[in-house]
């Protein structure tokens, strides 16, 4: 039986990359998935036992986000599973950080994640699941990515608090924390940067988006029914050994 059969899922930032892989995997496992992005075309595509309904939403726009969840409630009545993947990661060392750099990172990676989770859990039945896409950057202190790392540390902290707050409703909140993953975010990186990162990974390669999606599916499904407040690294061992 499909692990998310009959579930209504929302993936914020579900157009491509890790978020897109999560949306497709949730659908293959039987969910009706509402996947948001600023580039979505409004199409509905069948995947396996479920489908992905692409919806154009700017997650950093609180009003647009609220309107989207209101529409999901009208159409589907609830949200059983939420995954939040929308985010940006741009280089800047401390001496070069601007207010705009800070505000854009915290606006999308933290503020949007908070209000998406608030809206989704307001219409989530008891026993639902929230999966937040964090990063091993929350603990390894990568040069030039201090603001990004700080946003992911905030995500990790939110997961702990929300797991506590939502436990009376049996809603689980967990983080999947990728390491370097071969997505569009890394496509512009030089061969030198990619090689340097790869040398730091015990398994000797960058991750794939589908590998992160598999971990997100586990956390979202009943197979993780006794797991909440946790962070699951998917990093080839980079921050683990």
In this structure, are residues 48 and 23 in contact, taking their beta carbons and an 8 Å threshold?
no
First to last CA, the chain: 36
Distances (CA, A) of 114 to 86, 121, 130: 12, 11, 12
Q: Catalytic residue positions?
A: 148
Q: Which two tokens stand for residue 18?
A: 């890790």
Q: Are strands 172-178 and 8-12 parallel, antiparallel or unpaired?
A: unpaired
Count Cα atoms within 13 angstroms, Cβ side, for 88.
20
Return the percent helix, strand and coil in the chain, to nearest 5.
Answer: 45, 20, 35
Angle between helices 146-166 and 113-122 (to 10 degrees): 20
Rounded to whole angstroms, the Cα distance separating 44 from 47 reads 10
Count Cα atoms within 13 angstroms, Cβ side, for 153.
12
User: How many of the other CB atoms lie within 10 Å of CB of 54?
Assistant: 21
* Strands (E) located in the chain: 8-12, 32-37, 44-47, 50-56, 81-84, 129-133, 172-178, 231-234
């Amino acid at each position: 039986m499909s692990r998310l059969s009959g579930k209504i899922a929302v993936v914020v930032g579900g157009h491509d990359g890790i978020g897109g892989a999560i949306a497709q995997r949730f659908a293959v496992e039987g969910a009706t998935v509402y996947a948001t992005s600023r580039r979505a075309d409004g199409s509905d595509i069948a995947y396996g036992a479920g489908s992905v309904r692409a919806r154009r939403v700017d997650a950093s726009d609180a009003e647009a986000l609220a309107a989207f969840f209101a529409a999901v409630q009208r159409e589907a009545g609830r949200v059983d599973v939420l995954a939040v993947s929308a985010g940006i990661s741009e280089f800047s060392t401390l001496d070069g950080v601007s207010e705009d750099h800070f505000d854009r990172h915290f606006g999308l990676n933290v503020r949007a994640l908070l209000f998406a989770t608030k809206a989704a859990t307001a219409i989530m039945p008891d026993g639902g699941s929230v999966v937040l896409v964090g990063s091993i950057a929350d603990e390894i202190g990568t040069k030039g990515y201090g603001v990004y790392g700080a946003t992911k540390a905030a995500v990790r902290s939110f997961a702990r608090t929300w797991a506590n707050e939502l436990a009376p409703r049996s809603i689980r909140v967990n983080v999947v924390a990728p390491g370097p993953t071969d997505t569009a975010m890394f496509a512009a990186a030089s061969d030198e940067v990619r090689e340097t990162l790869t040398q730091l990974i015990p398994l000797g390669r960058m991750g794939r988006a589908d590998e992160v999606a598999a971990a997100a599916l586990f956390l979202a499904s009943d197979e993780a029914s006794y797991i909440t407040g946790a962070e699951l690294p998917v990093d080839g061992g980079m921050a683990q050994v």
